Amino acid sequence: MVYYIYVKIINDKKGSFKMVKHIVMFKFLPEAMGRTKKENVEIAKNMLENLQGKIPTLVSSSVQINSESANPDNYDLVLISDYNSWEDLNEYIVHPLHKAVGEFMKDVRESRACVDYEY
């Protein structure tokens, strides 16, 4: 099976093509909203994965859970997503479906770290 993804490429001043990578890591509370950390991590993963195809400016995304074999001090969940421009990332951030995920995350997370860059 072959999948094609349409990517609008933005030309910067130097003539090279740029996209925006948005990486967000979450550390979850041991318990929140009557659920364990593991349950909330799974719910968050599903919520983030369900955004793909529903928010037009989200080109691609990957959501991963920290391995049980990894250092427990690591962050618990990571979102890695791609956008055609900073404007598209900003549209994603204010989209109602993304905001709903953010409201859930505020209740279950201990901390959040984010890096955004052009590539």
Phi, psi of 93 (to 5 degrees): -60, -35
- Predicted confidence band of residue 14 (pLDDT cuts 50, 70, 90): low
pTM: 0.86
| Short-list 10, 6, 11, 17, CA closest to 88 | 10
The CATH number that domain 17-118 falls under is 3.30.70.100
pLDDT, average across residues 99-112? 99
- CA dist., res. 2 & res. 48, Å (int): 24
AA identity, residue 90: N
| pLDDT surpassing 90 at residue 17 | no
3-state secondary structure the chain: CCCCCCCCCEECCCCCEECEEEEEEEEECCEECCEEHHHHHHHHHHHHHCCCCCCCCCCEEEEEECCCCCCCCCCCEEEEEEECCHHHHHHHHHCHHHHHHHHHHHHHEEEEEEEEEEC
Query: Residue 39 and residue 45: Cα distance in Å, rounded?
Result: 10
Percentage of the residues of the chain whose pLDDT score is greater than 90: 86
pLDDT of residue 44: 99
- Please compute the mean of the pLDDT values over residues 14-40 and round it to a whole number: 94
Could you tell me if 92 and 98 are in contact, meaning their C-beta atoms sit under 8 angstroms apart?
yes
pLDDT one-digit tens code per residue, 55-85:
999 999 999 999 999 999 999 999 999 999 9
